[in-house]
């Protein structure tokens, strides 16, 4: 099963699965797997159109390791729609913002598994993966009101969900940051809810030692482009700050 290894050292691996192309109008989405010391976490596994392929790739990549966590950065269908299948076919525990634990079951969570969908408190938390803490970092309103990122201190990868997303159809490393801006600017201005939220996030994560920023759609940032992306976010006006004071009523 083709995939990109973003990091590998000792018993620690960070895998980006190759695009499973949900097809049609479905937006391209990345699925990431973190493995540490025999335990795995799948991030934003996606919906029904890719479920069986992502599940097969996950089991194959895990080898003898066991899936421990299903991390859901927020409540969108391209992230949570197949949560029931993941909970039915594994013993893993799913985590989503406490704002969304009573909404995700509307995608059809079997009563046998719904107790394995657990809330992340607003302030974030740590999750122990095979003896290594992963940090669940608040990123509220970027774009969902209950929204989290994952920071892996071993690989120094920050997984940012929809933040950093690009829609040019590629899922490789960004080569030229300036040339990449048009692929993400419109999305961020409209989908990210607020400039204030974006700046709070930049201030929060600047203290982390980040080698890769890996979004759920499109290309990822490495090397000097990590700082370029943080600086770009710091200066971007988005969301409600761009609203006109009144809507024109359709006539
Ligand atoms: Fe989303
Ligand atoms: Fe998304």
Can you tell me whether residue 114 is helix, strand or coil?
helix
User: Is pTM beyond 0.95 here?
Assistant: yes
Classify each residue of 19-31 as buried b or exposed e, where b means 16 or more C-beta atoms within 10 Å of its C-beta. Answer: ebebeeeeebbbb
Calculate how far, in angstroms, residue 248's C-alpha sits from the geometric centre of ligand 2: 29
Cα-to-centroid distance, 73 and ligand 2 (Å): 9
Strand partners, 33: 15, 42
pLDDT given for residue 20 in this prediction:
84
Of 59, 50, 56, 60, the C-alpha closest to 81 is 50
Q: What is the mean pLDDT of residues 221-247?
A: 97
Q: Which residues surround ligand 2, an ion (CB under 5 A)?
A: 78, 162, 216
Average pLDDT, integer, range 142-155? 98
13 alpha carbon, distance to own chain's centre: 17
Query: 51 C-alpha vs ligand 2 centroid, how far in Å?
Result: 15
Residue labelled with tokens 């988005």: 238
Confidence of residue 21 (pLDDT cuts 50, 70, 90): confident
Give the pLDDT confidence of 170-220 residue by residue, as tens digits.
Answer: 999 999 999 999 999 999 999 999 999 999 999 999 999 999 999 999 999
Structural domains in the chain, CATH included, are 3-121+134-242 (3.60.15.10)
* Contact call for residues 178 and 230 (beta carbons, < 8 A): no
Question: Residue 230: in which H helix or E strand, if any?
Answer: helix 224-235
Residues with CB under 5 Å of ion ligand 1 are 76, 162
Distance 75 CA to ligand 2 centre (A): 9
Ligand nearest to the CA of 79: 2
Using CA atoms, how far apart are residues 130 and 165, in angstroms rounded to an integer? Answer: 29
Length of the chain: 251
């Amino acid at each position: 099963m083709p995939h990109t290894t973003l990091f590998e050292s000792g018993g620690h691996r960070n895998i980006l699965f190759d695009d499973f192309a949900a097809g049609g109008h479905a937006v391209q989405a990345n699925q990431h797997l973190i493995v540490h010391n025999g335990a795995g976490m799948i991030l934003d596994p996606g919906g029904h159109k890719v479920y069986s392929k992502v599940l097969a790739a996950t089991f194959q990549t895990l080898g003898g390791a066991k899936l421990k966590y299903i991390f859901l950065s927020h409540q969108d269908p391209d992230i949570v729609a197949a949560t029931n299948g993941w909970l039915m076919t594994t013993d893993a525990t799913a985590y989503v913002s406490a704002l969304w634990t009573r909404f995700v079951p509307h995608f059809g969570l079997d009563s046998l598994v719904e107790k394995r969908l657990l809330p992340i408190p607003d302030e974030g938390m740590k999750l122990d993966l095979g003896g290594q803490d992963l940090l669940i970092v608040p990123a509220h309103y970027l774009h969902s009101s209950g929204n989290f990122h994952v920071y892996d201190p071993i690989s120094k990868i920050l997984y940012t969900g929809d933040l950093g997303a690009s829609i040019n159809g590629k899922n490789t490393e960004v080569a030229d940051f300036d040339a990449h801006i048009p692929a993400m600017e419109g999305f961020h201005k409209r989908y990210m809810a607020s400039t204030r939220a974006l700046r709070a996030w930049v201030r929060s994560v600047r203290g982390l030692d980040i080698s890769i920023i890996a979004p759920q759609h499109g290309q990822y940032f490495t090397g000097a482009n990590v700082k370029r992306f943080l600086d770009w976010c710091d200066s971007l006006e988005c969301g409600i700050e761009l609203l006109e004071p009144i809507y024109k009523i359709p006539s």
